[in-house]
């Protein structure tokens, strides 16, 4: 009798419930957040659809699940990137009991700017100040509070300004997070230091060509202001063979002005037939006087070199002092070619090739 009872107990313990049947059609068929990225507080639409679900809940990060339709949508306005978890439940007694899907509502960071300063914050009229800042924007612009002019800077975070009077500058910015909400301002204080004339210091270096100055103001010399208009001539210092020349001369256009009509080549020069032009550049050559002179070649051969003798003029142009400008350098040819990134160029072209630093340039000051 004992053996029969033990056998019955073992049989009872080895018996288990069968697994629940699997619902093959139970599924989350779609779960999306549109748009995939938005500014903080902008609407994002969550949408989802399911198959053979009994009920569904939706929860954000740190939030309690809330009942939602098994098929539906919901507009949310997240202020930070948020993951929304959709949980759907199967009919009772069927497997799997539940399924989950995550919907990512990504929020772009707000556009921010900091440390907008002027260095130095106070200058003499004619001097410059550097505006600098940091930020995560992709496009910046500076507005001059005195003239109302706007300077588009792209992604640059530094710019040099030369105000003639005390000026407040406003920085605006645009980034993935939209426009900067509160554009910062900074003040550059200008102490008046007006210039009355121009003074040219001749170059100290030797070169085949040389920039010399002739004052156009009666009764003055170029080394003694007030000379308010100066004509510059490019003269040969020695016999030289050439077929072209180029001079890129950075100018402070808050101090001097240039008229294209003042540029020319002497009619008696061997280079008189050359193609020539002088203009103020743009882009990378912004605020640069760009002079190009070149003899024309033929379809089969380059132009031949022509001789210039010592004292012969290659070209001339005139710069004039701007009314109300401050004291300081209008251009400096003493060392810009050695400065990394400088647009300065002073070269000649001949059968031997291009020779750089072949035009000696001095320094023009407004005093």
Give residue-wise pLDDT tens across range 251-281: 999 899 999 999 999 999 999 999 999 999 9
Q: Is 289 exposed, middle or buried (0-12, 13-18, 19+ CB in 10 A)?
A: buried
pLDDT at residue 62, as a whole number: 67
pLDDT at 7 over 90: no
pLDDT at residue 328, as a whole number: 87
pLDDT at residue 8, as a whole number: 47
Question: What is the DSSP pairing of strand 122-124 with strand 185-191?
Answer: parallel
Mean of the pLDDT values across residues 297-326? 92
Q: Under 8 Å CB-to-CB from 190, ≥6 apart: which residues?
A: 122, 123, 124, 125, 163, 164, 165, 166, 167, 326
245, 359 contact by CB (below 8 A): yes
Q: How confident is the model at residue 16 (pLDDT cuts 50, 70, 90)?
A: low
pLDDT at residue 130, as a whole number: 96
pTM of the predicted structure, to 2 decimals: 0.62
Across the chain, mean pLDDT equals 89
Q: Tell me how far apart the alpha carbons of residues 275 and 64 are, in angstroms, rounded to a whole number.
A: 79
| Residues facing 103 on adjacent strands | 84
Sheet holding 198-201, edge to edge: 198-201, 363-366, 328-332
Structure tokens at 103: 């919907």
Q: Under 8 Å CB-to-CB from 43, ≥6 apart: which residues?
A: 75, 76, 77
- Kindly report, residue by residue over 113-171, the tens digit of the pLDDT: 999 999 999 999 888 999 999 999 999 999 999 999 999 999 999 999 989 899 999 99
Torsional class of 287: left (φ above 0), alpha (ψ -120 to 50), beta (otherwise): left
């Amino acid at each position: 009798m004992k053996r029969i009872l033990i056998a019955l107990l073992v049989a009872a313990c080895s018996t288990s419930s069968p697994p629940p049947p699997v619902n093959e059609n139970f599924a989350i068929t779609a779960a999306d957040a549109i748009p995939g990225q938005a500014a903080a507080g902008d609407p994002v639409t969550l949408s989802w659809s399911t198959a053979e679900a009994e009920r569904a809940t939706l929860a954000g990060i740190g939030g309690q699940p809330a009942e939602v339709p098994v098929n539906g949508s919901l507009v949310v306005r997240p202020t930070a990137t948020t993951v929304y978890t959709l949980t759907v439940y199967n009919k009772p007694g069927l497997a799997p009991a539940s399924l989950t899907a995550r919907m990512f509502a990504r929020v772009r960071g707000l556009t921010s700017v900091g440390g907008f300063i002027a260095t130095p914050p106070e200058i003499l009229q004619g001097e410059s100040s550097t505006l600098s800042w940091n930020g995560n924007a992709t496009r910046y612009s500076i507005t001059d509070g005195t003239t109302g002019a706007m300077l588009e800077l792209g992604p640059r975070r530094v710019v040099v300004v030369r105000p003639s009077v005390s000026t407040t500058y406003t920085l605006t910015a645009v980034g993935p997070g939209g426009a900067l909400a509160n554009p910062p301002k900074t003040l550059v204080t200008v102490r008046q230091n007006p210039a009355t004339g121009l003074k040219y210091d001749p170059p100290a270096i030797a070169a085949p060509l040389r920039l010399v100055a002739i004052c156009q103001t009666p009764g003055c010399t170029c080394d003694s202001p007030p000379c308010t208009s100066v004509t510059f001539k490019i003269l040969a210092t020695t016999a030289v063979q050439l077929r072209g020349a180029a001079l890129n001369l950075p100018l402070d256009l808050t101090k001097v002005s240039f008229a294209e009509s003042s540029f020319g080549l002497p009619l008696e020069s061997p280079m008189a037939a050359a193609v020539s032009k002088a203009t103020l550049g743009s882009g990378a050559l912004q605020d640069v006087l760009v002079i190009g002179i070149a003899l024309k070649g033929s379809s089969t051969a380059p132009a031949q070199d022509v001789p210039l003798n010592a004292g012969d003029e290659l070209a001339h142009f005139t710069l004039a002092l701007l009314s109300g400008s401050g004291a300081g350098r209008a251009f400096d040819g003493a060392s810009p070619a050695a400065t990394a990134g400088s647009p300065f160029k002073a070269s000649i072209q001949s059968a031997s090739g291009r020779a750089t630093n072949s035009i000696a340039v001095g320094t023009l000051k407004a005093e």
